[in-house]
Amino acid sequence: IACYSTSSKARQGKIYESAIDAVADVKDGSQILFGGFGICGIPEKMIDALKKKGVKNITAVSNNGGVDDCGLGVLIKEKQVAKVIGSYVGENTELVRQYLKGELAVELTPQGTLAEKIRAGGAGIPAFFTPTGYATLVQEGGAPVKYSKDGKVIVESVKKPVQCFNGRNYVMEESIFADFAFVKAQKADALGNLVFNKSARNFNAPMCRAAKVTVAEVEEIVPVGAILPDEIHVPGIYVKRIFKGSNYNKRVERLRITEPKEAGQPAAKANPAQLLRERIARRVALEFSDGMYANLGIGIPVLASNYIPDGMSVMLQSENGILGLGPFPTKDKVDPDLINAGKESVTVVQGAAYFGSDDSFAMIRGGHIDLTILGAMEVSATGDLANWMIPVSTMTWESSCSLLMYLMALQGKLVKGMGGAMDLVAAPGTKVIITMEHNARDGSPKILESCSLPLTGKEVIDLIITEKAVFQVEKGVGLTLTEVAEGFTVDDIIACTGAKFAVASNVTQMRQIPV
C-alpha cells in the first residue's frame, strides 16, 4: 500500500450563491431547526428567504420565538409557522397571541432537554434519560400544546416514561432529527467546516448535526486549510450547503453598558426595593468560595456577583454557552455575538471558554456547576420550586384555567417557558439556592406547604434566602430557619411564612458579607 488517503481536491459543490438558492427546496410542512439563542446567532438571511418564498406550516425547533420583528418572529408574523418547539417564547407577544387563539402550537421543552434531544438526534441516539422535568408538567403531561379558536385545549403534551437509576427518577426523552437545520456561523471553508463567534455558537453547533440538510450562512468563506483541524467547531461532514450573507443587522436584545459614573450616583442607594435586594445579595455572596463555578439567574443572583470578595475566584457560567462571564461592556466593546442567558451584552474574563448549548447543559445536568442561584414564585416545605409562569394546576386542567391564561396573557404575564431553569435545578450534586422576596406583593406567603403553581423541580432546593430569613432545606426533614434579618423575630417569620419549619438551636441574625 503506497498510500492511504482522502483525495484532496477541494469541493466547490457546497457553496451556494444566496439564501434564496440555499432554501429553494424547502417544502410546506417541513420541520426546521433554527440556530440561535434569543436573536444572537440567528440565520437571519435564511429567515428572510423563507419569508420571501412563503413556505407555510413550518414546524420550527428554536430555543426562542424571536422577537416580534426579528428572528423567528418574522415568520410567525407572516403566519408561516404551525408549531414552535422551544424553551422560552416570552419575548414575542404575537407568538403568544397566535398560540392562545389556536393559530399556532407551542411545545415547551426545558432548554437542556431541547439541546440534548437535538444532540441525540444527530448522534443516532433515539432516546435518553434526564433528571430534568421529573414530576413536573414536562414529564406528567397535560400542558396545553394547541388551543381551539374558542380557547379550549385540543392538544395536550403527553406523559413521559420514568425510570429509576441509582435511586433517583429520570424522564425518558426522545430525540429530534429534522428535515433542515438552518444555522449561522462566523466562517466556513468550501468543505463546510465551521467556526462560530463567541456565544453565537449556542444551538447552532448541535443543530448542524441533526437534520437531513444543514445549511450554514456565514460572514466569511475562507480557503480550505485556513481553519486548522484542531480549531474546527463543526466538521464539514454535517454541512450540506453554505453561503455568505452580507449586511448583517445584528442587534443586542438587552443592551447593558458599564458606565463608570453609575457607581457614583448615591441616589440609587436610597431606593428601599434596591436595599432589600442588596441585603439578599450580600447574604448570597457568603455562599461563594474560592475556585467555585456558579450559574446565577437574572436579578438578585446576578447582583450577588458584585459582592464576590477581592482575591476570590468564582467562575460564572451562562447556559447559552459561556464559562467566565465578565462585567457588562463599555459602549465600544459591545458585541451582539456575546450575550448572557438574559440576552444582555456582556464581556468575558481571561481564561473564559465558549461552547454549544448541548455542551453547556451537559455541564449543568452533569453536576459540574457547584452552585446555581435562582428566583422563585413559590417554594415548598419539601424543597419544591415553582418559578415558571404558566399559572395552571399540575393536577387539573379546566376551561376556566384557559380563560385565566388568556386574561393573564393579555397582561403579558404568561406563556413564557421554563428556559434552562428545570435543568439547572435538576442536577444532582449542584447546590440550589433560591433568592426571593419573602412575600408576594399582596403580602401572601411564597414559602408554602406545597406549591400551587406548576413545578420547576421537585425536592430540588438546598437553601432559601429572603430579605427576612434564611432556611436550610433538607430531604426528608424539611425547612429549618437558621438566620433572621435585623428587625425581625422568629415569630415574625412564622407569621409571614406559609409552611411549618424547624428553628435551628443556634439561629442567628442574618449574616451579610462586609462591603
Residue 232 binding a second copy, by CB under 8 A: yes
Spell out, one character per residue from 342 to 361, where the chain touches a second copy: x when CB under 8 A holds, - when not: --x-x-xxxxxxxx-----x
Among 124, 266, 487, 514, binds a second copy (CB under 8 A): 124
Instruction: Map residues 384-403 to x or -, x wherever contact with a second copy holds by CB under 8 A.
Output: --------------------
Distance CA 268, CA 209 (A): 48
Q: By CB under 8 A, name the one of 128, 397, 406, 488 that touches a second copy.
A: 128
Choice between 147 and 238, CB closer to a second copy:
238
Site residues (CB under 8 A) for a second copy, limited to 250-279: 256, 258, 262-263
364 and 319 Cβ atoms separated by less than 8 Å: yes
Q: Cβ 465 to a second copy, closest distance in Å?
A: 18
Nearer to a second copy, 78 or 259 (CB): 259
How far apart are alpha carbons 418 and 430 in whole angstroms?
Answer: 19
Of 60-68, 129-137, 383-391, 485-493: span binding a second copy (CB under 8 A): 129-137
The grid coordinates listed for 84 are: 414552535
Q: Smaller CB distance to a second copy: residue 106 or 424?
A: 424
Q: Does 129 bind a second copy (CB under 8 A)?
A: yes
Amino acid at 411: Q
Q: Are strands 153-156 and 144-147 parallel, antiparallel or unpaired?
A: antiparallel
Minimum CB separation of residue 65 from a second copy in Å reads 25
What is the number of alpha carbons within 13 Å of residue 381 lying toward its C-beta?
A: 13
One residue of 57, 78, 152, 225 binding a second copy per CB under 8 A? 225
Establish if 220 lies at the interface with a second copy (CB under 8 A). Answer: no
Cβ proximity to a second copy: between 350 and 506 the closer is 350
Exactly one of 83, 209, 241, 458 binds a second copy (CB under 8 A); that residue is 209
CB atoms within 10 A of CB 148: 12
Residues in the chain: 515
When the beta carbons of 311 and 443 are compared against a second copy, the nearer one is 311
Give the shortest CB-116-to-a second copy separation in angstroms. 7
Cα-based distances in Å from 198 to 216, 368, 406, 498, 514: 16, 21, 38, 45, 35
Q: Considering the complex, what minimum distance in angstroms separates the CB of residue 375 from a second copy?
A: 15
Task: Map residue 456 onto helix, strand or coil.
Answer: coil
Angstrom CA distances, 300 to 279, 284, 317, 401, 467, stand at 10, 9, 16, 31, 11
CA distance 207 to 117: 10
SS3 per residue for 26-66: CCCCCEEEECCECCECCCHHHHHHHHHHCCCCEEEECCECC
Binding mask 315-344 for a second copy (x = CB under 8 A): xxx-----xxxxxx-----------x---x
In the annotation, is 259 catalytic? no
Which of 46, 315 has the CB closer to a second copy? 315
- Cite the active site residues: 319
